[in-house]
Amino acid sequence: MTSTKLAIVPAHNEAEAIASTVAAIARWAPDFDVLVIDDGSTDATAERARATGAEVLRLPFNLGIGGAMQSGYIYASEHGYQVAVQVDGDGQHDPRHIHELLAQLEGTSGLNMVTGSRFLGPQEGGYRSSAVRRVGIRIFSRLLSRITGQPVTDPTSGFRMTDRRGIELFAHDYPRDYPEVEAIVLMHTHRLRSRELPVVMAPRRTGVSTISSTQSVYYMAKVLLAIFVALFRTQPVREAREVSPTSVEQML
């Protein structure tokens, strides 16, 4: 470990894009260590990532974005990182924004997470998504804004940076299948504060999105259920060192 800041790069069959993603992080955020999570890829993702000099966590089979990201947060927690940023392996998240996120996170006292939002700033980035997804994003945006009491414009953005408390929370407990939306609720129930910052995201060039159009409806129903249940979960404010029911440390 050479840094206290870690970029977690989840990648599933991103052999084409992974090297340029890691190179872009190294160029625009050289003070960040890079950890690539190879989520059970069947192509050369892990080899290409290793060749760039990044650390690689190779999951023995595909866990999905939630399980993959959580392993990154466990790594960050156990290696004492103070800041972790998620940068998707497909090159969708522009590492040029990392330092804007960092400045916001470190410059605001009591802030635990900063999310890069596609919908806050000028709409020049050319990020497009299907109609179903746009409707879904709007519904979640309204719902989460109501729940957290502050505007949440881009609830499905995975481009987010957390501080040490966020890292420890997510290492203990992180949503499974489509984690971004639920993670905001999780942050809120643990009284951690988050904020959004405008970013520009590129449309994905290679690989397959974790959510296809046909899965969008399932995604919405599943996440709505998760949010609904999370609201009724009588969860006391758990500090980082305490143990959650699905804790990893329990298994050791």
60 interacts with other proteins by CB under 8 A: yes
Cβ 150 to other proteins, closest distance in Å?
31
The stretch near other proteins (CB under 8 A) out of 14-22, 65-73, 101-109, 160-168 is: 65-73
105 interacts with other proteins by CB under 8 A: no
Residues 6+ apart with CB under 8 A from 18: 9, 11, 36, 45, 48, 49, 52, 89
Which backbone phi and psi does 11 adopt, to 5 degrees? -145, 130
- Of 152 and 167, nearer to other proteins (C-beta) is 167
45 interacts with other proteins by CB under 8 A: no
Tokens linked to 198 = 């405008």
Of the candidates 71, 157, 189, 216, which one interacts with other proteins according to CB under 8 A?
71
Which backbone phi and psi does 57 adopt, to 5 degrees? -105, 120
Cβ 48 to other proteins, closest distance in Å?
16
The residue count for binding other proteins (CB under 8 A) is 19
Tokens linked to 19 = 């090297």
9 interacts with other proteins by CB under 8 A: no
143 interacts with other proteins by CB under 8 A: no
d(CA 216, CA 210): 10
Using the structure block, give the residue that is written with the tokens 């089979």.
61
Tokens linked to 65 = 């974005």
246 interacts with other proteins by CB under 8 A: yes
Closest CA to 144 of 236, 231, 209: 231
Helix axes 131-148, 216-232, angle to 10 degrees: 10
Residues 6+ apart with CB under 8 A from 250: 243
Of the candidates 5, 164, 176, 222, which one interacts with other proteins according to CB under 8 A?
176
Cβ 110 to other proteins, closest distance in Å?
30
The stretch near other proteins (CB under 8 A) out of 9-17, 71-79, 134-142, 225-233 is: 71-79
Of the candidates 6, 74, 83, 181, which one interacts with other proteins according to CB under 8 A?
74
**Under the rule (CB under 8 A), what is the footprint of other proteins?**
37, 55-61, 63, 67, 70-71, 74-75, 78, 176, 246, 248, 251
